[in-house]
Amino acid sequence: MNHTLLASIQQADGRYLSDLELRPLAQFVASFDTRFKTYTRLREDSETLVLSALRQLMVGSYREAVQAHGAKCQRDMLYTLECVAKAILLDDPDGFMEEYVVWMQNITRALHKQDSAIAAYRHLQTEILAALPETSAQLVNSYLDKLIQAFSDGL
């Protein structure tokens, strides 16, 4: 669950939570159906989405990179969608940033692959927009925006 809610619960030792402290829980519950459906769609469709994005990447200027490193790209993008799905289900964008984005940014920077990673994840965002319901697509792409921004910051 998100950090705000957990912090409120931990600080409430010996007392009831106030309405203000309960607001994150109410938001968590209200958005759960959308987050659960988004998680389920990513679990079911991630491989198709990633393969479509990589096909699009091959049409552009990264054909050789995909041919040489396509299996690793696919593995990393699938893992990214798994991390996004978990963060969405738990409503934990901070955890996604702290535990995944910084790690991925460092690896991508060390390998000097920021440009191709940005292009790959932008193609993935396009595939997600076409395949998922609008609310789910916006939710997933907001996480991918953070990852792309981290790659851009590393240039």
Over residues 85-122, the pLDDT tens digits come to 999 999 999 999 999 999 999 999 998 999 999 999 99
- Conformation bin of residue 92: beta by default, left when phi > 0, alpha when psi is -120 to 50: beta
pLDDT at 105: 93
Closest C-alpha to 85, from 74, 96, 76, 94:
96
Mean pLDDT across the chain: 92
pTM score? 0.89
d(CA 58, CA 67): 8
Return the structure tokens found at 81.
């969608």
Sequence-distant (6+) residues with CB within 8 A of 148 are 118, 121, 122, 125
Domains and their CATH numbers in the chain: 1-30 (no CATH), 32-153 (1.10.490.20)
